[in-house]
A and B are shown apart, each in its own frame.
Chain A
Amino acid sequence: MMYNIFHLRREFIKMAQFSLPQNSKIEVGNYYKDKTNSKNLKKVNVYRWDPSNGKNPRIDTFEVDMDNCGPKVLDVLFKIKNEIDPSITFRRSCAHGVCGSCAMNIDGVNGLACIKSHEDIKGDLNVYPLPHLKVVKDLIGDLTTLYKQYESIQPWLKVDQTGQEKIELKQSQKDREKLDGYYECILCACCSTSCPSYWWNGDKYLGPAVLLQAYRWINDSRDGDKKERLKKVADELKLYRCHTIMNCTNSCPKGLNPAKAIGSIKKMLATS
């Protein structure tokens, strides 16, 4: 009983942790003045944290010459890295919205830097790492928990075949169409890290990205483990922490609808 009370109290304190911990408070950083004498400047505020010096994170402001810059936010970041401060750190790979590496918080909404146009953003450009993650360096957040959760839903086809049959697993066109809007997910984590429920319960709640993937496998006509998958996900914390806040759908750079996927799982559970 005593344990329960303390446990509840701790949970409550954890729940009420809406502000940033002391070591995460953001300080004012360096100001890099423009040296090109350009008339078309944009101020770019970038979240910086260097793991090597033990200091708090800071916001550096760069004045960037927009007349000689590519159209996307990733181009701005590269321009800063190439011409102003080579130590700025971010992830990127394909630069075409396919790999999901450059997911970050741009102007208050999560998105992919490589497909987000900086002209859409009026005023200063604010760039932060994905929200509520442990920062590895600058704009890189630690997604280990999310990947573990992804592994936990067993994202592969489960069938009774042993592999000896040499029979193709066929799927009708209609069944294949059921995966549209779900198979396109690139696991960039924009949705999961935009979700307040995932912020407060990220260790237990699976989050929109993983639940969308779960639905993709539940919904696959070739999969033989539908019932078991549903049973596994039907959990107060894993699934029902979704309160349809819709931040996920609002932020998905691929235009998918994780909220609908989660709604579909809930409906399947309610009607089966």
Chain B
Amino acid sequence: MQNNNPLSPHLQIYKWHISSLLSITHRIVGVVNFFAFITICFWTITLLFGENSYQPIEIFLHSAFGKFFAITLCWTFSFHIVNEVRHLFWDAGFGFELKAANISGILALTGSFILTILLYIIGKNFF
């Protein structure tokens, strides 16, 4: 028999915690990275076709939006890597206590920003 009673509200009313917020961010960032990797592969391929095909992307990346784009990707990579370390600890059976999970969450978030800055500085100065 089909139950036509209403569904109680869920996403609409549930309060966000650090853990749930980082969890959904992890997933979104993962999807972004998936497309970013594909784009970077195509970009690498353009190297083979010589300067003319490489130039537009080079110009794009030096524009203000291009820089924003590059920094965003630096952050999505950083966040996914750092938060994945957190998941590795969970898989090994550590860090499930509420306090530990909250602290590791904050650490992962700050760590991702620090790593972003590092990545950007290294990328800018050494390559």
Contacts and interface: CB of A to CB of B under 8 A. Distances in A.
B85 to A, nearest CB: 13
A243 B87 CA distance: 9
Nearest to B93: A267
Interface in B13-44: 13-15, 17, 19-20, 23-24, 27
Nearest to A270: B91
Contacts of B6: 20-21, 23-24, 49, 56-57, 134-135
B81 interface: no
A159 interface: no
A95 interface: no
Contacts of B125: none
A109 interface: yes
Contacts of A132: 7-8, 10
A250 B23 contact: no
Interface stretch (B64-72, B94-102, B111-119): B94-102
Contacts of B92: 267
Interface string A260-272: 1001101100100
A247 B97 CA distance: 12
A19 B5 CA distance: 16
B98 A249 contact: yes
A259 B20 contact: no
A182 interface: no
B4 interface: yes
Contacts of A244: 19, 23, 87, 90
Nearest to B26: A243
B52 interface: no
A249 to B, nearest CB: 6
Contacts, number: 110
A131 B5 contact: no
Contacts of A264: 93
A259 B101 CA distance: 11
Interface string A1-25: 0000000000000000011110110
B11 interface: yes
B7 A24 contact: yes
Interface in A135-185: 135-136, 141-142
A193 to B, nearest CB: 8
Contact of B5 (A126, A136, A196): A136
Contacts of B123: none
A12 to B, nearest CB: 14
A246 B7 contact: no
A142 B17 contact: no
Contacts of B5: 49, 51, 134-136, 142
B8 A130 contact: yes
A250 B97 CA distance: 10
A249 B92 CA distance: 18
B2 to A, nearest CB: 11
Given A128-B13, A132-B8, 14 more contacts: A24-B8, A51-B5, A56-B6, A131-B8, A131-B14, A133-B8, A244-B23, A245-B23, A246-B23, A246-B101, A249-B98, A257-B97, A259-B96, A266-B91
11 contacts: A20-B7, A51-B5, A56-B6, A134-B7, A135-B8, A199-B10, A243-B23, A246-B23, A249-B98, A250-B20, A270-B91
